[in-house]
Structure 1
Amino acid sequence: MKLLLTSGGVTNASIRDALVELLGKPVEESTALCIPTAMYGHPMVGPGERAWQFISGTSQNPMVDLGWRSVGVLELTALPSIDEDLWVPLVREADALLVAGGDVLYLSHWMRESGLVDLLPSLGDTVWVGLSAGSMVMTPHVGKDFIQWRPPSGDETTLGVVDFSICPHLAADGMPGNSRAEAEEWATGVPNPAYAMDDQTAITVVDGEVDVVSEGQWIQLRGVGGSA
């Protein structure tokens, strides 16, 4: 699987160019499934109007509204109750998975419960386009500052597809988001390499190679990451 891990979505030309490179063809010739699941677990974003905005491509985070040839919805909480033949082929056929932000542990839990996580190693050409929590779920640890909902198992780890952590929404002091000082403090609580990035920045990971794509600000807080 190819990863495009964003803080705020496909917010500028550089990130869109990176997406096209990962797809290997124009967005207009590509198919996508959007995954809103993380939103339902977060009190500030869903369920309700903002989940619909993400699915309908009318949110402030460019993901669904990029001009895809087709877009479908993959709701992870529904998958354990339906036959795999109804959804696994859809995932395998999609060029991209567009994964909303929200509560990262809620998303991680339902990726495991649904069986989607077991499919990931076989999706070599698929592009995972993460937004905030949709990016952080691929890391091994998110740090206590980003934990709200906890799974019944008590497991606070995320998927560990990459070996670095992400602090999204880096912002100047006094602006909405996470300040540099807050990001640096957060990094002391994660035991692995870490990045903080603003909404004009993304990280690509392909075959273990990590690249930062940015028209904004980002900080490498500890070490150098890669893919698992």
Structure 2
Amino acid sequence: MPSEISPGLVIQGFTPPLRLSDFRLVAFDMDSTLINIECVDEIADAVGKKEEVAAITEAAMRGEITDYKESLRRRVALLEGVTVADMEQVYTQRLQLNPGAEALVQACKAAGLKVLLVSGGFTFFTDRIRDRLGIDYTRSNMLEVRSGPNCGELTGRMVDQEWGDICDGAEKRKMFLETCARLGISPGQAIAMGDGANDLPMMGEAGLSVAYHAKPKVREQAMVQINAGGLDRLLEVLR
């Protein structure tokens, strides 16, 4: 049975505290986990389509849309005409790290953990968050930008990368397991943290799964629920 060990902090399936140093990897989702926004929704605002895109995002994160790749293609198609300058404005004016993000990443790194960022969002943002927090590995989607006439505008499509087309739940799990293998560790020596249904495949492999201000389906399956406060509340469970 779930147990609330302090207000807004719930555990199930184990007895705390665990030791942070027992783990070798921590994997984070980005949108609404490490950062405060869903980037695709905020980008869509530049072309007056935020409400339409946000409705699809919400359904996908709740697990009501089972084909994540198709839901993302639909959302990205609505971004046609958004400029790189618009995205820069989202980054500088709307995007913030969630409370405790920097403290938790620093604590993990100090304890010797590597840090992985796996996102259904976009390289434009994950690359910046990687550099800002000193993250070791990332995987996310790449938006196609027009060259020639109307250069600097999004085409409404994504670019295939060497690992595949779209970072969905299955790809997050694959990258999580590949990173564990690269480090020579078992998935049980890794922590996975997210908020949406597309995070569940990697969270299901991890030795410790953490739901941060998450959708009901994710909270039900996570070993730790942070329902109030910042990301660094995980350090109340890990000593």
State the TM-score bracket (shorter-chain normalisation): 0.3 to 0.5
Q: State the structure with more CA Rg.
A: 2
TM-score normalized with structure 2 length = 0.34
- Normalized per residue, the structure richer in helix is 2
TM-score normalized with structure 1 length = 0.35
